[in-house]
Amino acid sequence: MKILIIGDGGREHAIAWKIQKDNPEAELFCAPGNAGTDVIAENIPIKADDIMEIVSWAVENKPDIAIVGPEMPLCLGVVDELTKRGIPTFGPSKAAAQLEGSKKFAKEIMISAQVPTARSTVVRTEKEARAAVEDYGIPVVIKADGLAAGKGVSVCTTPAEIDDAMKTFFVDQAFGEAADEILVEEYLVGEEASILAFVDGKNFIPLVSAQDHKRLQNDDKGPNTGGMGSYSPAPCVTPDMMAVVQSQVFKPVVEELNIRGITYKGILYAGLMLTRNGPKVLEFNCRFGDPETQSILPRMKSSLLEVMQACINGDLNKIKIDWSDDSCACVVMASGGYPGRYETEVPIEGLDEISKLEGVTVFHAGTKRLNETVVTDGGRVLGVTAIAPTLAEAVSHAYQGVLKISFSDANYRTDIAQRALKQKDKNK
């Protein structure tokens, strides 16, 4: 079986790793891939957002299935283009991917479907933004409407942070066209959680819960990033909470899209704030989360490929997904300076040592091979991941892996999953 995976991050390495584990005979191709996928697949030098080059390769090589990892090619319509040419493709259409591509559109869907979410106001100028901030008060959240690689959100808790955000969005125009429209949003209090679901157009099956760490530094300080680590399960997502999310989020959203003539197939990711008044949706993503995927897929006992095919074929109702009771933790090692400027092509040492650690896997994100040496090639470089019977063991083993790896100016958080571990200690 020939499989094309589109993307070059830790998420795509985790997807390739899982499929190769389930289907060792499968022939894997990654476009463009990284130094990690290079070990288990053939990397193709085509960028993930070069839609027509991807289509051209697929038409010539005829993969049995294409799997789209990142949001950009989804929002550009790669699924539509591949499907038109008879290539079964896992991921939502361009119309469905608007749920992530436009926060304004996502809010419209949620309001129509009566999905609980924060109040928000759409603005285009600094004057309008400041008026909206005045209305909501501080703290407040300011978001770019479009795609900004997970960095287009400012959580402002002081007047100085408001001024910084205004400069970033309106003076520096740091997010370009993605911030032509901006959402000023009510600040929600609670614990964040990520719940993803497989969707086949009508049916959906939730995955096990996870929690991401968005801020760069310990104790959730510093700027927002694409994610500095994750763990699964998230203890705050109880069975009762999961039932509420299924009935109040996934079901009405899929139904609302169908009412509008949009068939959603693929992964639907709900970023949630668990407030005193119940879960509220912070955002939707139209693909696997990164780094949540790295802590979810190692727990999946069923075949990932079979579930993806069921999503494409519209028969997810015939599938049952089995999960390990083990916990999994992922610690992201990032380049110094990330999420701002950082150096690349920095040699990485110690990767060979990881094979000696039981249950530890390194998912490559921003890496490439340079003269047979693995070097950095992005902001988030590696996701050191461990699976173990308890969350405490998984976290401990992941950090043992981190300590064996080194590259100049490496940065990582040392408190991944600590909130969950402290909560467990309190409940004892």
CATH code of residue 233: 3.30.470.20
For residue 37, is pLDDT > 90? yes
For 99-114, give one letter per residue: b (16+ CB within 10 A) or e: bbbbbbbbbebbeebe
Q: Looking at the domain assignment, is residue 274 inside a domain?
A: yes
**Does residue 96 lie in a domain region?**
no
Whether residue 421 is found in the same domain as residue 365: yes
| pLDDT band for position 409 (cuts 50, 70, 90) | very high
Mean pLDDT of 79-104: 97
**Are 377 and 398 within one domain?**
yes
Of the ranges 222-231, 243-252, 288-297, which one carries the lowest mean pLDDT score? Answer: 222-231
d(CA 29, CA 271): 30
Domain boundary among 37, 72, 91: 91
- 221 with 276, same domain? yes
The pLDDT assigned to 422 comes to 85
Q: Which domain-ending residue is among 164, 186, 208?
A: 186
Residue 228 has pLDDT above 70, yes or no: yes
217 and 312 inside one domain: yes
Number of domains in the chain: 4
Domain that holds residue 123: 119-186
In a domain, 387, yes or no: yes
Lowest pLDDT segment from 34-48, 205-219, 355-369, 414-428: 414-428
Does residue 114 lie in a domain region? no
Does 308 share its domain with 197?
yes
Domain edge (last residue) among 318, 353, 388: 318
Half-sphere exposure of 200 (CA within 13 A, CB side): 17
Q: Does a structural domain hold residue 102?
A: no
Residues 198 and 279 in one domain: yes
d(CA 91, CA 256): 18
What mean pLDDT is predicted for residues 172-187?
93
Give the pLDDT band of residue 386 (cuts 50, 70, 90): very high
Res. 423 pLDDT band, cuts 50 70 90: confident
Does 428 have pLDDT greater than 60? Answer: no
- Decide: residue 189, CB within 10 A, 0-12 exposed, 13-18 middle, 19+ buried: exposed
Q: Are residues 226 and 310 in the same domain?
A: yes
Taking alpha carbons only, the member of 308, 318, 384, 324 closest to residue 348 is: 384
Please indicate, yes or no, whether residues 309 and 206 belong to a single structural domain of this protein.
yes
Q: Within a domain: residue 107?
A: no
Residues 340 and 262 in one domain: no
Residue 110 lies in a domain: no
Rounded Cα distance, 428 and 423, in Å: 9
Answer yes or no: do 263 and 306 share one domain: yes
Closest by Cα among 100, 89, 35 to 59: 89
Q: What is the CATH number of the domain that holds 29?
A: 3.40.50.20
Mean pLDDT of 7-25: 97
Assess if residue 98 is contained within a domain: no
Residue 255 has pLDDT above 60, yes or no: yes
Question: What percent of the chain is predicted at pLDDT more than 70?
Answer: 99
**302 and 357 both lie in a single domain:** no
pLDDT at 206: 97
Residue 200 and residue 311 in one domain: yes
Query: Is residue 29 within 8 Å of residue 3, measured between CB atoms?
Result: yes
